Structures are given as C-alpha cells and as structure tokens.
Structure 1
Amino acid sequence: MKNVIVVLCALVAFGSFPAFARATNAGEPSVYVDYEYGDLKEVIVGLPYGMSPSLEAKWFADALKVLPKDEADYARKTAGMLWTEMINPETGKSETQMLEEENQAFIGILQSLGVKVYRPTEITVDFIKEHYGADVLLNGFSQDFPRDNMAVIGSNVIEFNLRTPIRKVDISGFRNILSEKCSNSSVKWFSMPHTELLKPARADTPFLEGGDVIVLGKTVLVGNTLNPSVGSNEAGYQWLKNILGDQYKVKRVRLVESVLHLDCVLSVPRRGLAIICEEAFVDGLPEELKDWDLIRVRLKDVKRLAVNGVPVNSRNYILSYNRHNDNRYIQAELEKRGIRVHRVFFGTHNGQGGSLRCATQSLKRKVKMTKAHESQRK
C-alpha cells in the first residue's frame, strides 16, 4: 500500500507559531504506536496552563460527576479562574506552579528511561480571543492533559472531536510538534469532523477522546461512559471503526457514569497483564482480557486515578500517588510480577481529574516482536 499523508484538519496551523524543522527520515514512521505497552520512545507531556470553566457553562454540572466530592467542590469554588491565580493556601503556590513541579518530576523519570519528551506551545487567553473568540472562555481551557485531543493508531495520527468543551482548544498547542512529526511520508494525519465550539451538538454527533482509546495490536478498545457530558460516544466509536476499516478490530466498551475514560479503569503494563476495575464495565470484561492476569482495583480507588499509569516498557511502569491514595497496593502487585515501579506524586493533576496517562500523548511505541505477538497479528 502506498504511503501517503492525509491532512484533513479542522484547525490549520496558526502563523503566530514558529515552524519546526521538518523530519526527513523516510525509513521507519516518525509517529507509530502498535501496543499500549510497547516500548515508549517519544511522548508529549502537557503544560501547567489553563482556566477553570465558568459556572455558567451548561455542561459543567454533569462533568463534575466524575470527580470525588472534595474535588468537585473545589472546581465550583475556583470556577472561571486562571490557574496562575489559583493559590493553594497550604503551599502558597499557584495551581500552575504545582502542576509544573509534578510534570518535571515525571519528565525526569521518563528521560532517565531513555524517552524523548516534547512539550506543547503555551496557549494564552489573548490567543484564544484572537483565534476562537472571547465567548469560548466560558468553557475554560486546559493544557495539562494532552491525551484526549488525538490518538496514534499504527502510523495514523487522528485528531479527535472532543465532547468535553474545556479541552477543545488544546490542539492548537500541538501544531509545531505535529507539523514536524507528520511530514514523514509514512504518516497519515487527519481529523474527525468538528462541531461548533459553543452550539450544543446533535445526539448523533461523533465524539472521541484519547483517554478512551487503547491500542492492542490490531484490536482497538474504545470506552464509552454513560455520562452525557464527557468522554466518547457510540457515534464516535462507529466513526473510528469505519475510518480504520478492515485493518483493525474496533470494539466498544461501555463504562458506568462515574467513570470518565477507559484509561481510568484499565492499564496494560505488558502483554497478558492488566490493572483493571471490573465493576466499571457495564457489559463485563472485554473478551480480549478474559484470560489475562488481572490486578483488580475498586471503583472508589478509580475516583482517585489509581489505574491511570504509564508503562514505559515491559520492565518499567510509572505510577502516580496522592494524599488520598498511596497506590502501594498496585505497586506491590506489579513488583510481584517483576516490574520496576517508578512513583510520582501527582496530586494536583489528580485534583484536575486526570493522571499520568492523561498527561501524556505517546508518539512512538513499539513492542519487540515475539512469537505470541506474531500469531496475534495474523
């Protein structure tokens, strides 16, 4: 099959961002993910900038259902505030400062394990006013969780149409990185149909968010929460199934209303091993996982983002913890299985509703082929 670049982006590269040097290596794809647990080589880590949604945002009340009560109360209290202005009374630091301290600790571990880290371009209030319009600020914006704006499936880079309004402008911060990485002729870069930023979407509008997409070779799991204001929906799942065609088996995974994304209840540290919250799956475990070794987690721990870690390779796993959950249980279970666990305090990010996987977007992941993987591909 001939390699082509398909660029069907709803948003164009803005002239205010300087261009990166173009990648010229036409050998292996410059962007590629074959398995959730493939060896991680390149990744985007989010930025600490954002603005909380206004209480006037109609979707906000439903979205808060995925947060613990204390975090939902704090979100209401800080509604409409820039994160640089949200000062923590205990630390005296802003939300932005605390987020970046956590990012730097995380990045340090990634780099120590040989992972190349990219950061998005900062988005400002003035930039949003100029390119999207001031009314969009009602929804707020956030750059801490780059996972949801897109997914890499094989050498396909797919920009998503997000249902969560606070995340809809984040993609502008990716333009430099994607322009560089997707110039390689082996990469296909395209976008879902996008909806208006302020107009309520029709019920049949396709929505996808990267936290719901987990790639396991030629099988792609797509989470669908029952929460009507966040996450991916059935139309989004169907769109992805159609666009990927016969090359991939795309499976819908329904989740209970209190769960935001699939990666909140499922993590895959290596082949045949999953960290999972079974009670979050409306229709039971996906068939692909039923014979696996399972580390089971309770739904109450899911609320504190216990499951949302990052496998770097089959031997190393990065795990978050916070003041509510030290995550020692998952750490011990992984270590029993010969996996080295790297711990990162991520309490500020957790309070925003996400964790380590949410804070990353994998650009290069590839497993070292075994006979088991070869048979799975056939």
Structure 2
Amino acid sequence: MSLVDVHNEWDPLEEVIIGSIEGARVPVPGTDLFTIDYADFGSMDRIPSGPVPQQVLEQTREDLEGLCQALTNLGVTVRRPQDTDHAATVATPDWQTDGHYNYCPRDVLLTIGNTVIETPMVLRSRFLEPFAYKNLLLEYFDSGARWLSAPKPRLTDDIYDVTREPGHRLLDIEPAFDAANILRFGTDILYLVSDSGNERGWKWLQSTLGDAYTVHPCRDLYASTHVDSTIVPLRPGLVLLNPERVNDTNMPDFLRGWDKVWCPELEDIGFVGERPYCSTWIGMNLLVLKPNLVVADDRQPELIRTLEKHGVDVLPQRLTHARSLGGSFHCVSLDVRRTGTLETYR
C-alpha cells in the first residue's frame, strides 16, 4: 500500500517530513532572488548572501528536533531530508547560483492522494532541492506511490520583472510554482497566483490531476510567496483567515460557506539581520495534526486563545527564527500520510 496518502490539510497525521537547517544560506545575488524576495532592497548587491548566522542554525536545529520529538510522542512517523551541500554551484546553460536550504519541504514537494509531485520552483537556488528527498521518494515509489516531476523551468531572466507590481513579477512564460502555493480541501485544490506561482502553473497542475479535482486559481489574494500564512484550513467547515489579505472580494468561492476565524493581531517574535524574511503573519502558519488539534507558536497567546474558543486545541512549540528563515510549522513540514478518504467539502 502506498505510503503517500493525503487528501486534505486536517485528517489525522500519520507520517510527515520535517525539514533541516543544516548548511542553510542566502544564495548569491541573481535576477530571480532579487525579483522574488529582495526587490525592496532596491539593489541586487545589497542581498545578504552567505551562510545563516551560527546562532540561528544552532537554535533552529534544537527547535526542529523538539518538534520531531513532540510529533513522535504522538505516534507520528517523522522523516528528514538528507544533508546537501548548499554552497555547491548549481548551473544550467542559462545561469549559475548556489543553494538555499532544506528547511521547507512544503515548498518543493506536493502530496495529493497517493501522488507526490516535485514542483517547478521559482528560485534557481532551489532547482535541485528535490535531491535531498531522493531516498524518501524512491521508498514512497516502491510502496506504490505515484511519483511525478513537473517540467523543469528554464528560469531565464525574462520570466522575472522586478518593475511590475508585487504579485505580477513572475511572468507566464512557462509553468512555475512552489508547492506552498497550494492547499488541499479534498476534491478542491486552492492555487495561489502570485510571485511564487503563475497562471501556467495552475493549468499544468489541473491537467496533471485530472477531472477528480478542481484546481481553483486564486488571484489578488496575496502578492508575495506562498498561501499558508493567509488561509489555514482547521477542519471541515472551519478556516483561519488573514484579515489584512482576505476579504469578501477575493474570498475563494468554494470557501464562502465555511465558518471563518479571523486571525487576531500577532506578536512580533523578532528577527536577525537587516530585515525579516517574512511578516509577523508567519505566526498563523500552523500544522494541523487532526481536526481540533494544531501545532502553533507558544509566543502567540491571543491566537491560541482564539483557536481554543473555536474548539481547536494547541500543541505549543517554537521555531525561534521563523521570521528570519521565512517559515514556521506548516512550512517546515510535509504531510505524507493522513487517515481519511477523498471527499468534497463544499
């Protein structure tokens, strides 16, 4: 039986991949990195390339180990990526760069049903990131999982346009998207059209998944990267929403009938460096373990109280440098197997 079997974001979690901080670095400057992540710096040469600070590495390693132990204590099978040399050069005939990190498996792999997809990521530094999961992918394939890799994008300079408005800087030249642009609601799949996912990306995903699924392109929802600090499904019929980004105009139609929890103002957990890699909304980046139980940041008391008022219990954990690294509990995890079956929740 396939070890990969997951249909939504909330069924009881059985197996998960948790990322690694080993060797993490900010890649060398390039048109891609500047356009997608550092346009506000105004100049490419201001990108703070190089290894993440040792303090960040050490604390994050400890935090990730604590998360793994907490999940293991609940009976969840925890897997980890292999270490890779992110300082090594990655090159194609069109460009060369170095690597980034294996901190966020949610970005690079997409699991839907018994299928795992290597996504056509938008940053060159992450072009070969699936190699860190190769042994796991082989194991999943041997168990009966369907293993696909999206067409590798060329990622030439002409797919990026830093002069455009945020949300329109990744051009529609070829399919390109990160897996974290996607949320699973059974037969309904949400796809964020943004600077980390273009229109051809959702069209490719719809054609690949076929008629059993409807992939909903969500436009003008959140301009930057990834959707999991904007919309967080908690259980069937209940969703946590970012009040600065989601409104009646851009609300995905298939979610209009769901009960809505509006995320309260979040605590600023701080960051290391000139500026954070993400906003304070990373505090609503939750990992749902089962209906009515989530992993959340223990430094967000108002969010925890809000969730508990709606019958959602919290397993408090901490990723000290979530704002510095651009990812919290949903980002650093990839659910591989959950109990449950494919259903429609509209």
- TM class by shorter-chain length? 0.7 to 0.9
How far has the Cα of 1:156 moved from its partner?
1.3
- 1:205 and 2:178 aligned: no
1:57 match: 30
Q: Alignment partner for residue 279 of structure 2, among 303, 309, 318?
A: 303
1:1-378 alignment to 2 at 5 Å? 28-49=1-22, 50-54=24-28, 56-64=29-37, 79-83=48-52, 86-87=53-54, 93=55, 95-125=56-86, 128-129=88-89, 132=91, 138-185=97-144, 187-196=145-154, 200-201=158-159, 203-225=172-194, 227=195, 231-256=196-221, 258-281=223-246, 283-297=249-263, 303-304=279-280, 305-320=282-297, 326-367=299-340, 376=344
3-state secondary structure, aligned to 1:214: strand
Q: Deviations over 1:212-247 (max 9, x none)?
A: 11111111111112x3xxx11111001111111111
3-state secondary structure, aligned to 1:99: helix
Aligned counterparts of 1:79 and 1:99: Cα–Cα separation in 2 = 19
Contact 1:80 1:138 in 2 (8 A): no
Residue type matched to 2:233 in 1?
A: V
Residues 234/139 of structure 1: CA separation in 2 closer, same or farther (3 Å cut): farther
Residues 287/366 of structure 1: CA separation in 2 closer, same or farther (3 Å cut): farther
3-state secondary structure, aligned to 1:347: coil
Residues 320/197 of structure 1: CA separation in 2 closer, same or farther (3 Å cut): same
How far has the Cα of 1:285 moved from its partner?
1.1
3-state secondary structure, aligned to 2:9: coil
Residue type matched to 1:303 in 2?
A: S
Residue type matched to 2:177 in 1?
A: L
Residues 125/35 of structure 1: CA separation in 2 closer, same or farther (3 Å cut): closer
**Identity, % of aligned positions:** 22
Residue type matched to 1:192 in 2?
A: A
How far has the Cα of 1:200 moved from its partner?
4.6
Residue type matched to 2:305 in 1?
A: A
CA RMSD of aligned residues (A): 3.0
Aligned counterparts of 1:119 and 1:351: Cα–Cα separation in 2 = 21
Aligned counterparts of 1:339 and 1:271: Cα–Cα separation in 2 = 12
Aligned counterparts of 1:57 and 1:353: Cα–Cα separation in 2 = 19
Aligned counterparts of 2:214 and 2:338: Cα–Cα separation in 1 = 19
Contact 1:168 1:197 in 2 (8 A): no
Aligned counterparts of 2:266 and 2:184: Cα–Cα separation in 1 = 26
How many residues align? The count is 321
3-state secondary structure, aligned to 2:31: coil
Aligned counterparts of 1:65 and 1:289: Cα–Cα separation in 2 = 32
How far has the Cα of 1:166 moved from its partner?
3.1
Aligned counterparts of 1:253 and 1:144: Cα–Cα separation in 2 = 26
Residues 32/255 of structure 1: CA separation in 2 closer, same or farther (3 Å cut): farther
Contact 1:53 1:137 in 2 (8 A): no
Residue type matched to 1:206 in 2?
A: P
Structure 2-normalised TM-score?
Answer: 0.83
Aligned counterparts of 1:241 and 1:51: Cα–Cα separation in 2 = 33
How far has the Cα of 1:377 moved from its partner?
7.3
Residue type matched to 1:269 in 2?
A: L
Aligned counterparts of 2:86 and 2:258: Cα–Cα separation in 1 = 47
3-state secondary structure, aligned to 2:210: helix
Aligned counterparts of 1:352 and 1:76: Cα–Cα separation in 2 = 20
Contact 2:180 2:226 in 1 (8 A): yes
Aligned counterparts of 2:228 and 2:303: Cα–Cα separation in 1 = 15
Contact 1:319 1:344 in 2 (8 A): yes
1:3 match: none
How far has the Cα of 1:48 moved from its partner?
0.6
How far has the Cα of 1:255 moved from its partner?
4.1
Contact 1:162 1:168 in 2 (8 A): yes
Structure with more helix by fraction? 1
Aligned counterparts of 1:242 and 1:160: Cα–Cα separation in 2 = 14
Aligned counterparts of 1:337 and 1:287: Cα–Cα separation in 2 = 23
How far has the Cα of 1:173 moved from its partner?
0.2
3-state secondary structure, aligned to 1:338: coil
2:168 match: none
Contact 2:294 2:314 in 1 (8 A): yes
How far has the Cα of 1:76 moved from its partner?
8.2
Task: For structure 2, list consecutive stretches of 5 or more residues without a partner in the other structure.
Answer: 160-170, 268-277
Residue type matched to 2:183 in 1?
A: I
Residues 76/306 of structure 1: CA separation in 2 closer, same or farther (3 Å cut): farther
Aligned counterparts of 2:246 and 2:203: Cα–Cα separation in 1 = 19
Contact 1:160 1:209 in 2 (8 A): yes
Residues 81/119 of structure 1: CA separation in 2 closer, same or farther (3 Å cut): same
